[in-house]
Structure 1
Amino acid sequence: MSTNPFNTAGVQLHVLVDGVPLLEQSAMLISNITVESQLFLPSLCEIELVDSGQGVLLENGLVAGVLIEIRAISGEDIIGVPLFSGQVESIELRFDHTAGVRSVVRAYDLAHKMLHGRKTTGFPLSLYSEIVEAIGLEHGIATLAEPTEVPYTMVVQSNESDWDFIVRLAREVGYVTFISIDPAVGLPSLYWGLMAPAETAPPPVGVELSPRAIVIGDDGLISLRATVSGSGLTASASTRGWDQSLAIPAIGEGPTIGDASANVLLPVELATELGGPTAQLVSLERIAENEAATEAASVGLGFRLAGSYSNIEAIVRGNPFLMPNSAISISKAGVLTGEYTVTSSTHTFEPRSFGYRTQIMCAGYEDRTLMGLQGAAESTFKLNGVYPAIVTDVEDPEFLGRVLLSFPWLSETFVSTWARVVQQGAGEGLGMQIMPEPTDEVLVAFENGQLDSPYVLGGLYSADRLGAVPAAELIEGTTMVRAFTSREGHQLLFNDNPDDSSLTIQTTFGASCIVRLSPETGISITTIEGQPIIINSDAEVTVNSEGAVVINASEVTLSGEGAVEINGADVSITAEGAVEITTEGAITLTGSDINLASEGSVSIEADMISLVAGEINIAGGIVSLGA
């Protein structure tokens, strides 16, 4: 026989509304009180009262929004043990000819505050525990978040409620979360941390049996079903990722760690025995950003995997000490004797039938209720496919060619982490490098559908943001023109029109310099508004042509720091005006014959003229030699 006072039929559940007990005559009308509590879920309290006059709720102030408490009272203990603290969310009326009219009040603990609405926001350079503390503070809930060690570049709450978000973070690293109640003062707080170790359960020995010790055959135990299974277990778990800063894979591994210590093999030992030491579960549920993040996620995956190792379901006489995250011991259970951690509890009080009973489940990190089955599919908001975004910043602090993005269709305030930009032919020292600019619309895809890991695939045009070349010119039955235009109007134009086929390079939309290559007209270089054409070279400049080379200009100047040579089969110099040859040195004319001809006079002036030849002939109508 147990001496635990809460394993007796005399225990009752009392209701307090805003700290005040129900009226005595109203408490007599209670037909059922149910408190359901489970890791990762808000606790639910349902109170059913016989209400033939339909006035008991108003008499006691039981309306939506009021705070209620449920306490287990035994003997002379008028304070009792707190089971529930929360807020009324709904009121219901039931009727049937057997039970008559009943009023039902349904309340949820403080976690319900974090389930109202969804949002998208980012937490840059944060620890998961810091994020949870910030969310708890935002909702005015006292929070105990066990510290995590891995800082993340950006953690994104992706169109999720605050509760779903912190649950996702907890599951990823092998933590649990729920609203716990301090048994001493009855105050609720948000717990986010490791599951209570099963080995902290009290031993099933002593003068007074602990209320968290279950003994097969004890009168406090009504029924029990215990199972340990290695089905589907693997010796280790692994998550994968990609380190963008190093461009290398990130691989984490963790053992299958259980939450129970039965007199049989532990989860990792059982998995090794059944599946072999190399069997491993690889999860791609989340692609982590570096090795530290994959290691943390692998540990969390190992905890969740071990949840299938043991399953305990028990019904006992009312026991308010059996709550989620409390460690219990089971004895006289043969090979299943051991310690386990409670993951869910249902406390039911029916004063007109069996009184107060407690049902518990120890199922590790896996939710095996119908609600858990409904939510078995991945609940994280995934962005599969491609989405439009707006570039907000291109000043990458690490100079890696990344950009920041906003998603106006998703959130007015959310800005992404630094996103890599897809570049054609990208490789070490090669490929295109064309960066979008702030306010540009771009098309984005997300790694593994995760909002915290975007990639920019390319830019987009719209009715308000057209390209520099009108679409009508780009397409005339078929694609005629392909163009690339910079912000300042520098263009590369490929024109496939058979009447004007060409490749054109031009600046400022053709307002200054144009280089045009055409199979019909050749190569043309044009400048506008007085822009010069300058050719500079540290070596030779050679112009070869099988045809003529024509230079037309208002003035032509040939200058050389060394010799200037003009060679040709025939050399002809023609001028409409005078021809002047000036040199500071000698002028030498050499030829087989030299003819000087003029329709006018020929004048030679010098300080001295010397004519030397084998024979000199001077002929003329009049020849004058004198000084």
Structure 2
Amino acid sequence: MVRPAFSSIVQVRIGAAKLPDDIALMLVDGWVDQGMNVPAAFRLTFRDPDHLVLGKLGVKFGTRVVITPVADGQGVGKPLLTGEVTAMEADYDGTGSYTVIRGYDFGHRMVRQRRVAAYRNQKASDIARKLAAMDGVSIGRIQPTKGTYGFISQSNVTDWDFLARLADENNMVMSVDAKGKFRFVKPNPSAGAPSPQTDGDKSAFVLQARHDIKRLRAAVTAADQVGKVESRGWNVTTKKKITEVAPATTDPGISIGSTPGEAAGKFKTAKLVETANPYDKQDEVRHAAQALAADVTSSFAELEIAVTGSPDLRPGVPVALSDVGKPFEGKYTVTSVRHHFGDSEPYQSWVTVSGRQWRSLYGLASGGGGGAADPASALRLPSVANALVTDVQDPLKQGRVKLQFPWLDDTYVSDWARSVQLGGKGGGGVFPMDVGDEVLVAFDRGALDHPFVIGGLYNGRDLPTKVNDVPLHDGLKKQATRHTLSDRQGNRVDLLSQRTGMRKQGVRIASGNDKLTINLDRTKTEITVDSKGSVSITGSRSVSVEAGMDLTLEGRRSVTVKSGGPLLLQGRGLVNLKSMAGTVNVSAMGALLMNATGAMTLTATGLVSVTSVANVNIKAIKVDLMGAVFVNTIKYPLPA
């Protein structure tokens, strides 16, 4: 089959109608610029000495435009682009006055605003379908992707940039087709191109020297080529590093007389390690390594060709290059194409095969280079920022929280973010936060998806716990006098580092209402427990209180010592039971035994009475009774 030849004439539809003949004759130049993973752009230039074109055509912002080449002898061919007007210009130079109409395909709608959003448990293909529909772009072919994102953030970037990142991570390409429908599909490998031995007359996908090639620049390079690449991350759950190594020896978009692996193998073995992005899971580092390998190998060969124009040449299409010599002959996947037509030159297609650097007009206008196709180009947050806690019900009970960033968006809520704690295996400590707390957040390598809570912040409404008797600083010494750790109710530990009035240095533990205080006085080496209520000391087994010198137990009303078993009061010296006012009563439910290894003396300034409901038995070698004695009964014989 002989491929059709296209003239320099194109059919342009503005709105629903094609150009009137008189306006069509005024079209002197135009181009359509298409690139992989970027919206296609167009420009139409009319010679317009009377400035009538815009008015006659009714051109306004958003006017629909369809550009279609015309095949010689076969009429209108396949459309190049379906888009809409985004700019209008008037141009004047020495050759005359011109009116210029510019625009993009419908993909530009996806770059018109930035979005902050979170996506949970969704595939990249599901997100792509959702965002295209939200931006008013008709859905074409969307191939399902495999992996599911547990949580991923769109961090104040355009929908197009965000989907370009997802496309890169999932080995997909996105575009808007000639009919204006959004596509999210797997890239076509160069192996799908015809054989380079195919005659260029038979296929538009065979680019043949001395046939339809007008200009050619082909190159291969060993620069930046490595034998393998590695991506690294950290698995929080397993507390282990995660790594993935991928070979960087071939590229599916290039099949020629040499390979990236051959170029790299001629020099010292090298490995490129990617650490710019935080990864949590093994499949994430695997996709990252594969994407990095593709990024490196895609820059091995470059091709720039001007050929006879054909609307079949589009980004992502595999083509064959023939009759240009080795190692350049072979198969390539097209990266970008610029279709140019005019009244003074034939229709040409300028084909580019390159790495993932943007070579299209849109890429240049948007900064190009490592643009949206690079995951690392997502908006970075390289500093710290404040946030509000929205959820504290951490299922892992590790003090994690969910966050909202009022300065960024009103609806975005993060995934569970780890907070800085006194971490350690089986130890440390957890100081949980509350909903509504303002906190300071840092971002792992600037990624919004990976925040860490550094600590809480005070503000005009959330104030520190008041400690009325000890200020934070000594104004004269210009030193801190107190360091306090407190909960929400004011229960606290005060580290008193400076003397302030009657307050000594040391540690103080106090309840929120200051009715219970424990002081560790560094100056006196003294421990004081002060309670406005009761103090209870309980031991399930034994309680021991020991003093190196004196031990004093004092009750302003009564002191009670109870024992569930024997009670022993023992002293190495004098044991003294004294009542300053009142009676000393010693009673026993059973026998009362008083023993002394020496003399025992009962002395009273008044009456001493010994009374028993039974007998009273006094035994001694000798009993002396002095004074008046009344004896009821004397038993004999007395002991010898």
Letter in 2 for 1:266: T
Whether 2:290 is the aligned partner of 1:290: answer no
SS at match of 1:168: helix
Deviations 1:328-386 (A, max 9, x none): 111122212211111111111112x1131111111143334687574325632111121
SS at match of 2:66: strand
Q: Which residue of 1 aligns with 2:544?
A: 541
State how far apart, in whole Å, the 2-side matches of 1:193 and 1:504 are: 67
Whether 2:608 is the aligned partner of 1:617: answer no
Letter in 1 for 2:89: E
State how far apart, in whole Å, the 2-side matches of 1:349 and 1:136 are: 31
Q: Which residue of 2 aligns with 1:561?
A: 564
Select which of 290, 302, 307 maps to 1:299. Answer: 290
* CA RMSD between the two structures: 2.2
Cα deviation, residue 524, structure 1: 1.2
SS at match of 1:294: helix
Q: Which residue of 1 aligns with 2:258?
A: 265
Cα distance change, pair 207–115 in 1 and its aligned pair in 2 (3 A): closer
Cα deviation, residue 321, structure 1: 0.9
Select which of 199, 202, 205 maps to 1:209. Answer: 202
TM-score, normalising length from structure 2? 0.91
Q: Which residue of 1 aligns with 2:388?
A: 390
Q: Which residue of 1 aligns with 2:594?
A: 589
Q: Which residue of 2 aligns with 1:231?
A: 223
Letter in 1 for 2:313: L
Please say if residues 41 and 361 of structure 2, whose CA atoms lie closer than 8 Å, have aligned partners that are also in contact: no
Unaligned ranges ≥5, structure 1: 182-186
Q: How does 1:139-288 map to 2 (within 5 A)?
A: 139-141=135-137, 142-181=139-178, 187-203=179-195, 204-205=197-198, 209-218=202-211, 220-256=212-248, 257-271=250-264, 273-275=265-267, 278-288=269-279
Please say if residues 399 and 431 of structure 2, whose CA atoms lie closer than 8 Å, have aligned partners that are also in contact: no
Cα distance change, pair 108–263 in 1 and its aligned pair in 2 (3 A): closer
Q: Which residue of 2 aligns with 1:184?
A: none
Deviations 1:431-467 (A, max 9, x none): 1221222111111111111110111111111232110
Deviates more, 1:403-412 or 1:491-500: 491-500
Whether 2:134 is the aligned partner of 1:134: answer no
Deviations 1:462-492 (A, max 9, x none): 2321100369811122100000111122100
Please say if residues 403 and 420 of structure 1, whose CA atoms lie closer than 8 Å, have aligned partners that are also in contact: yes
Deviates more, 1:115-124 or 1:320-329: 115-124
Cα deviation, residue 544, structure 1: 2.1
State how far apart, in whole Å, the 1-side matches of 2:225 and 2:578 are: 100
Unaligned ranges ≥5, structure 2: 371-375, 634-640
Select which of 524, 531, 534 maps to 1:527. Answer: 531
SS at match of 1:111: helix
SS at match of 1:33: strand
Deviations 1:99-146 (A, max 9, x none): x21111101111110111212211123322222222112123215343
Whether 2:593 is the aligned partner of 1:601: answer no
Q: Which residue of 1 aligns with 2:320?
A: 329
Q: Which residue of 1 aligns with 2:373?
A: none
Letter in 1 for 2:411: T
Select which of 334, 338, 342 maps to 2:334. Answer: 342
Select which of 92, 114, 118 maps to 1:95. Answer: 92
Cα deviation, residue 44, structure 1: 0.6
TM-score, normalising length from structure 1? 0.92
Letter in 1 for 2:629: V
State how far apart, in whole Å, the 2-side matches of 1:318 and 1:265 are: 29
Select which of 420, 423, 426 maps to 1:422. Answer: 420
State how far apart, in whole Å, the 2-side matches of 1:207 and 1:567 are: 117
State how far apart, in whole Å, the 1-side matches of 2:464 and 2:18 are: 73
Letter in 1 for 2:246: G
Deviates more, 1:334-343 or 1:117-126: 117-126
Whether 2:408 is the aligned partner of 1:410: answer yes
Whether 2:47 is the aligned partner of 1:46: answer no
State how far apart, in whole Å, the 2-side matches of 1:371 and 1:26 are: 28
Select which of 360, 366, 385 maps to 2:357. Answer: 366
Deviates more, 1:224-233 or 1:108-117: 224-233
Cα distance change, pair 143–406 in 1 and its aligned pair in 2 (3 A): farther
Cα deviation, residue 284, structure 1: 2.2
Please say if residues 359 and 368 of structure 2, whose CA atoms lie closer than 8 Å, have aligned partners that are also in contact: no
Please say if residues 341 and 364 of structure 1, whose CA atoms lie closer than 8 Å, have aligned partners that are also in contact: no
How many residue pairs are counted as aligned between the two chains?
610
Identity of matched residues, %: 27
Deviates more, 1:191-200 or 1:476-485: 191-200
SS at match of 1:112: helix
Q: Which residue of 1 aligns with 2:3?
A: 4
State how far apart, in whole Å, the 2-side matches of 1:20 and 1:482 are: 79
Please say if residues 399 and 433 of structure 2, whose CA atoms lie closer than 8 Å, have aligned partners that are also in contact: no
Cα deviation, residue 320, structure 1: 1.0
Whether 2:509 is the aligned partner of 1:505: answer yes
SS at match of 1:13: strand
State how far apart, in whole Å, the 1-side matches of 2:443 and 2:494 are: 33
Deviations 1:260-294 (A, max 9, x none): 444412223432x2235x42211223222211100
Whether 2:577 is the aligned partner of 1:573: answer yes
Whether 2:377 is the aligned partner of 1:379: answer yes
State how far apart, in whole Å, the 2-side matches of 1:207 and 1:367 are: 28
Deviations 1:29-75 (A, max 9, x none): 10111111111221111111111221221211222111100011114
Cα distance change, pair 429–459 in 1 and its aligned pair in 2 (3 A): same
